[in-house]
A = this chain, B = another copy of it.
Amino acid sequence: MSNKTEEKRAELRMRLIDVAEAQIAARGLGGLKAREVTAEAGCALGALYNAVQDLDTLVLHVNSRTLARLGAALHAACQGAGEAPEDVLQALAAGYVAFARENRRLWSALFEHRLPEGVETPDWHKRDHAVLIEEIIAPLAHLRPDLAGEALIMRARTTFAAVHGVVQLALQGRFVGVPEESLADEVAALVSAMTRGTHLLRAGTGE
């Protein structure tokens, strides 16, 4: 396949991702329709399947973009924080809450979307999820110098997942979710308890 051809295809793909992103942002993941995306992108329905494997793949591309923006937001949140590990973790959590609220539907799509059973997530997209825990590792390592390697990464995932759970149930408006007004406070309290509990462990009471 020539360069020009691949360029053309990439251009249409980009246009489709743009439109899909806008549609998800406007109407949610469930509001993404092949016919509307192609109509808005100015191509035929079938052209979508030449530019991209299928609609699921298109969502993955949108999600990769969102993850990149989220990664940048989290990185920025760190810069503005103090040195103490707890300060960094609080800043990260607050940044996560802010991003989720400001990008509700796109953020929601990150976890709402499911590939058909038996279909494995492609590696290029898996890698993009790393930003969710990258910035957690350093401050966590300071709190738990006894942890390293795999165990440290594990604990970082757990830390993220805990905060994420609170944010997700809250923003979904679930019965057991916290109301959105108290979300920031509750997350702060959670991070505070987690870091101090962790720190206490290090101090010697044992695990």
The 5 closest A-B pairs by CB, nearest first: A165-B165, A197-B197, A193-B197, A162-B162, A196-B197
Q: Which residues of B contact A187 (CB under 8 A)?
A: 158
A2 adjacent to chain B (CB < 8 Å): no
Give how many copies assemble into the complex: 2
A169 to B132: give the CA distance in the assembly, Å. Answer: 12
Q: Which residues of B contact A196 (CB under 8 A)?
A: 196-197, 200-201, 205
Who on chain B is nearest to A125 by CB? B175
A198 to B155: give the CA distance in the assembly, Å. Answer: 19
**A residues lining the B interface (CB < 8 Å):** 28, 30, 111-112, 114, 116-117, 121, 126, 129-130, 132-133, 154-155, 157-158, 160-166, 168-170, 174-178, 182, 186-187, 189-190, 192-198, 200-201, 205, 207
Residue from A130, A161, A163, A175 having most chain B Cβ neighbours under 10 A: A161
A201 to B86: give the CA distance in the assembly, Å. Answer: 14
Name the prevailing secondary structure of the A interface residues. helix
Who on chain B is nearest to A131 by CB? B176
Q: Which residues of B contact A201 (CB under 8 A)?
A: 192-193, 196
Other-chain contact of A176, B30, B129, B200 (Cβ < 8 Å): B129
Other-chain contact of A198, B111, B164, B197, B198 (Cβ < 8 Å): B197
Residue from A28, A111, A162, A170 having most chain B Cβ neighbours under 10 A: A162
B160 touches A176 (CB 8 A): yes
Q: Which residues of B contact A168 (CB under 8 A)?
A: 161, 165
Q: Which residues of B contact A114 (CB under 8 A)?
A: 30, 112
B207 touches A198 (CB 8 A): no
